[in-house]
Chain A
Amino acid sequence: MLNNQGRPTQPEAASGETIAHKTFTGNRGLQTHEPLIFETGRNDVTGVDIDEPEEFTPRLGAMLRKATIDLPGLSEPEAMRHYVRLSQKNYAIDAGLYPLGSCTMKHNPRLNEKMARLPGLSDIHPLQPQSTVQGALALIDELANWLMEITGTHAVAMSPKAGAHGETCGMMAIKAAIEARGEGATRNVVLVPESAHGTNPATAALIGYSVRSIRADASGTVRVADVKAALGPDVAAIMLTNPNTCGLFEKDIVEIAEAVHEAGGYFYCDGANLNAIMGKVRPGDLGIDAMHINLHKTFSTPHGGGGPGAGPVVLSQALAPFAPVPFVAKDEGGHSLIEHAEGSQSFGRMTAFHGQMGMFVRALTYMLSHGGDGLRQASEDAVLSANYIRACLKDIMSGPFVEQPCMHEVVFDDAWLKGTGVTTLDFAKAMIDEGYHPMTMYFPLVVHGAMLIEPTESESLASLDLFIMTLRDMAFRARRGEAERFTQAPYFAPMRRLDETRAARQPVLRWTKPETVQVEAVAAE
């Protein structure tokens, strides 16, 4: 006899409107509410087994910690669930296109992670005897050689911990060089274009320089005449991003470098956009004196939700003597680490140890995988993809600077949204509903309502085409008056738009025990 018992294998035909009811848990399928560890953890629970030590006489003097620390613990299964559930609330490169301009959100190969976890590279201490870390020093040296070859420079300071730290390092080398010339008191101005990243003026100010702004002209680039007009005996340096934040190559860069040098200043190049030019042109050949390289952008060390980064700084011959310690030196006997600045012109030290070794391993792995040919191809594909997006959207979304090709990112403005009731922010938030991370918004500041898109070289043509079609559909809808689709977006993300005003007006920056228990008890009586 046939067994006709069991579950139905076809859904029943929908009987009309689907009703989105509230669930008991507040969860929606795989989208779950996850409480804070302080709400579920208990101070007497632990997920790590540690034996009590045998009786001993402490040597703490009077410094024993007495009061409760108040750190909740989770068993391992609870911890796994908590963090996996949290992770599911994040967008990620691994999950989809991440077109954040200026951030170079490219694929992060897992081979990099595997290599970074080799015990011989991860389980070594920065202060081990140098004879026991020759491989690590050789690796740093090898990475330095790649960076110098790619950028056409003479030296590289490896220790800076991130891009802004690299900027600080480069600018400190410049300041040290100027002081060595005896001009420390007179040269105290740094030229920064209006289109620069915010870190540039912040870095200049940090090391005691004042900032003189250079306007970007209507073409989106800096004109040599404007630089010349701003130059003078008080100028220490110019800080220029190239390719710049409008996604354009600074055509006058050689003349700008020459003018700055002629006036006795140095040229700091923000290397955030190196991904556009590898194997095509070398910044050193263009006359730059210092440039930080964001290993977490160009060389794919993962962004990790906001760090850690790594920001080695390549230096010209003029600045090389002022590089910070420590640095790796090489002779017949092998590699050694120079750890002290005494007796040299080095400006000192940037960080406790040698820099972001874990990121060095990943970056070198990435470089070896690509080779010189692959790096060049990566840059070409990144630039090709950005121009392709521009070509496929320019009839429907307006953008400035159309008379020159863009580099690895393309900027649109919000003129095309005029009268629709939809802002750049709304448009970006609606991208979330379509399953995309928004592009960079309102940056660069010189473009009104800017939308800065950087696809990177990691997208297939099919992926680019779907992205383009999605934006086209959204643009049509915005213009057709479907404003509500945008102004209330996102609808389908783990959360709706968050109240940032409230967060800033009444900052709640840590969890505190609610005092409601007693109040409720009183109310119940």
Chain B
Amino acid sequence: MRYLPLTEQDRGMMLQRIGVESIDDLFADIPAAKRLQARLDLPKHKSEMEVERIMSGFAARNVPADSQPFFIGAGAYKHHVPASVDHLIQRSEFLTSYTPYQPEISQGTLQMLFEFQTQVANLTAMEVANASMYDGSTGCTEAVLMAHRITRRHKAVLSGALHPHYADVVVSTSHMANARVDRLPPDVSADEDILARIDADTSCVVVQTPDFFGNLRDLSAIAEKCHEHGALLIAVFTEAVSLGLVEPAGAMGADIVVGEGQSIGNGLNFGGPYVGLFATRQKYLRQMPGRLAGQTVDADNERGFVLTLSTREQHIRREKATSNICTNSGLCALAFSIHMSLLGETGLRKLAKVNHANAVKLADMLAGVKGVEVLNETFFNEFTIRVPGKAADAVEKLAGQGILAGVPVSRLLPDAGLDDLMLVASTEANTDADRRALADALKGM
């Protein structure tokens, strides 16, 4: 077995030193009746070559995004990641290190996290950011729980254009935590009256921009009304690249900003691992979940970084912790941070502009297709179209023609009567030929 360095001779020598006859003597505490008598019903060990063959077999039965015209978004986006990002995150010292609890020998991870926190705070126009969450949806739920702690109220109002899966996660967790959720019906055209839902019991209002249907939202009025009623505004985004072009929630009065960071530095990976971004106001710092890297000095008065304010966390507070989370999404945060450093403000703004330009081109093209209607007035790189018939059927049919067209809204909102709606995204990864192929295929439907 190539990963196990001990030889049979070593094992015998070690047993002797321990003073037992056989390895099973070390497992004597397992109740005899329950010890496995037979071998596990699993195949025997395999060489690298054999394993590669099997895994490649799984891979061959999937259609990669790069291989076809690709317009799927709805919370995860196809972007180009520079080659250096993947090389750097595979450095042994980043890849195979643990959580930086020993700061003297973990400055690489700690400084990176401090840089990441600063990047996220600047990107969202907020005051502090943590060292990342599992993903956007779990971050969103943590934000709701945090708002409950701060306001000592227990009702969250969710916009009908919050990503439906994010809303599902909030609903499932809130039910368990005995908190209430007021979830608005699907809001395709950003005209819901969310202000009317805010009352004295409301702990927070959760609104996404660009929203699930692609619309951009001005959150200022909601923030104002929230604050009048002592509630918090939680702003959500699922496309981090949008922040290179679109007004950030922090500038519109949001109290907590959470989002999915996958778009920067991270691949699609069939849904994970991703990286949740989480930022808030300084005054709420001690109620914020998740790890934090902070600046300090060492015994020689040199600047260094440590994990800090850990008394909020589960390993110290136990049942009184702000959250039960113990990992962040370290390596994905590193990928995000490296990609963001490569982009810089100039690169990010350009990337966002190209995304928007490509989506505008696609929207114009699709608007010209008979029977197809583009519903959005505003959008970033994703928008909603109405198609003749069921969008799910259209997507399936287009997949048969070698085009991964978009996401039928009914896949996430099956009973909403929105069966003819489809989300379509166009990033920098799409070419004019891709867009033309989609428009032509839709024409033929």
Q: Is A–B contact present in the complex under a CB 8 A cutoff?
A: yes
The yes or no answer to B34 lying at the interface (CB within 8 A) is yes
Whose C-beta in chain A lies nearest to the C-beta of B286?
A507
The yes or no answer to A424 lying at the interface (CB within 8 A) is no
Pair A211/B319 contact, Cβ less than 8 Å: yes
CA distance A149 to B28 in the complex (A): 22
Pair B105/A71 contact, Cβ less than 8 Å: no
The yes or no answer to A305 lying at the interface (CB within 8 A) is yes
Pair B327/A64 contact, Cβ less than 8 Å: no
The yes or no answer to A432 lying at the interface (CB within 8 A) is yes
Pair A384/B98 contact, Cβ less than 8 Å: no
CA distance A308 to B93 in the complex (A): 15
CA distance A279 to B44 in the complex (A): 12
The yes or no answer to B283 lying at the interface (CB within 8 A) is no
Pair A38/B115 contact, Cβ less than 8 Å: yes
- CB contacts (< 8 Å) of A121 on chain B: these are 55, 58-59, 62, 270
18 A-B pairs with C-beta separation under 8 A: A37-B115, A43-B346, A48-B347, A60-B356, A60-B378, A92-B92, A95-B93, A127-B75, A198-B318, A206-B177, A285-B34, A304-B334, A305-B94, A348-B175, A352-B165, A372-B40, A457-B3, A507-B294
- Besides A60-B356, A305-B94, A496-B302, 5 new A-B residue pairs in contact (Cβ under 8 A), listed by A number: A54-B357, A121-B58, A122-B269, A127-B74, A280-B35
CA distance A211 to B82 in the complex (A): 48
| B334 → A minimal CB distance (Å) | 7
| A65 → B minimal CB distance (Å) | 5
The yes or no answer to A263 lying at the interface (CB within 8 A) is no
Pair B106/A91 contact, Cβ less than 8 Å: yes
Q: Which of B1-55 contact A (CB under 8 A)?
A: 1-7, 10-11, 13-15, 17-20, 23, 25-31, 34-36, 39-46, 48, 50-52, 54-55
| B75 → A minimal CB distance (Å) | 6
Specify which of B61, B347, B407 is in contact with A50 (CB 8 Å cutoff).
B347
Pair B346/A73 contact, Cβ less than 8 Å: yes
The yes or no answer to B72 lying at the interface (CB within 8 A) is yes
- CB contacts (< 8 Å) of B351 on chain A: these are 48, 50
Pair A82/B325 contact, Cβ less than 8 Å: no
Whose C-beta in chain B lies nearest to the C-beta of A43?
B345
Pair A347/B176 contact, Cβ less than 8 Å: yes
CA distance A490 to B104 in the complex (A): 8
Pair B44/A127 contact, Cβ less than 8 Å: no
The yes or no answer to B202 lying at the interface (CB within 8 A) is no
- CB contacts (< 8 Å) of B399 on chain A: these are 128-129, 131-132
Pair A53/B17 contact, Cβ less than 8 Å: no
Q: A107-B3, A125-B78 are in contact. Are A161 and B59 (CB under 8 A)?
A: no
The yes or no answer to A500 lying at the interface (CB within 8 A) is yes
Whose C-beta in chain A lies nearest to the C-beta of B123?
A69
CA distance A162 to B134 in the complex (A): 8
Whose C-beta in chain A lies nearest to the C-beta of B285?
A507
- CB contacts (< 8 Å) of A275 on chain B: these are none
- CB contacts (< 8 Å) of A353 on chain B: these are 75-76, 135, 165, 270-272
| A506 → B minimal CB distance (Å) | 9
CA distance A285 to B363 in the complex (A): 58
Pair B6/A384 contact, Cβ less than 8 Å: yes
Q: Which of B115-164 contact A (CB under 8 A)?
A: 115, 117-119, 121-123, 125, 127-129, 131-132, 134-138, 145, 163
Pair A388/B17 contact, Cβ less than 8 Å: yes
Pair B58/A120 contact, Cβ less than 8 Å: yes
Specify which of B58, B112, B304 is in contact with A498 (CB 8 Å cutoff).
B304
Q: Per-residue 0/1 for A76-118: is the Cβ within 8 Å of any B Cβ (1 yes, 0 no)?
A: 1001101110111111111100101001010111010111011
Pair B55/A361 contact, Cβ less than 8 Å: yes
Pair A87/B93 contact, Cβ less than 8 Å: yes
Pair A71/B271 contact, Cβ less than 8 Å: no
Pair B92/A95 contact, Cβ less than 8 Å: yes
- CB contacts (< 8 Å) of B178 on chain A: these are 208
Q: Per-residue 0/1 for B300-342: is the Cβ within 8 Å of any A Cβ (1 yes, 0 no)?
A: 1010111011010111111111011111111110100010111
| A299 → B minimal CB distance (Å) | 12
Pair B17/A306 contact, Cβ less than 8 Å: no
Specify which of A167, A202, A278, A404 is in contact with B319 (CB 8 Å cutoff).
A202
CA distance A105 to B97 in the complex (A): 8
| B408 → A minimal CB distance (Å) | 9
Q: A61-B378, A205-B319 are in contact. Are A98 and B114 (CB under 8 A)?
A: no
CA distance A211 to B102 in the complex (A): 31
- With an 8 Å Cβ cutoff, the count of chain A residues facing the other chain is 208
CA distance A502 to B380 in the complex (A): 43
The yes or no answer to B189 lying at the interface (CB within 8 A) is no
Q: A47-B344, A67-B251, A437-B102 are in contact. Are A368 and B291 (CB under 8 A)?
A: no
Pair A510/B347 contact, Cβ less than 8 Å: no
Q: A71-B123, A280-B35 are in contact. Are A429 and B104 (CB under 8 A)?
A: yes
Specify which of A310, A405, A437 is in contact with B25 (CB 8 Å cutoff).
A405
Pair B11/A384 contact, Cβ less than 8 Å: yes
| B42 → A minimal CB distance (Å) | 3
Pair A64/B246 contact, Cβ less than 8 Å: yes
Q: A198-B318, A206-B323 are in contact. Are A132 and B108 (CB under 8 A)?
A: no
Pair A98/B98 contact, Cβ less than 8 Å: yes
- CB contacts (< 8 Å) of A84 on chain B: these are 88, 91
The yes or no answer to A168 lying at the interface (CB within 8 A) is yes
Pair A64/B42 contact, Cβ less than 8 Å: no
The yes or no answer to B428 lying at the interface (CB within 8 A) is yes
CA distance A374 to B65 in the complex (A): 35
Pair B15/A103 contact, Cβ less than 8 Å: no
Pair A378/B4 contact, Cβ less than 8 Å: yes
Q: Most chain-A CB neighbours within 10 Å: which of B1, B20, B72, B359?
A: B1
The yes or no answer to A180 lying at the interface (CB within 8 A) is no
Specify which of B46, B76, B209 is in contact with A126 (CB 8 Å cutoff).
B76
CA distance A493 to B304 in the complex (A): 12
- CB contacts (< 8 Å) of B231 on chain A: these are none
Q: A69-B244, A124-B65 are in contact. Are A305 and B331 (CB under 8 A)?
A: yes
Pair A488/B360 contact, Cβ less than 8 Å: no
CA distance A375 to B44 in the complex (A): 10
The yes or no answer to B191 lying at the interface (CB within 8 A) is no
The yes or no answer to B293 lying at the interface (CB within 8 A) is yes
The yes or no answer to B183 lying at the interface (CB within 8 A) is no
- CB contacts (< 8 Å) of A372 on chain B: these are 39-44
- CB contacts (< 8 Å) of A66 on chain B: these are 247
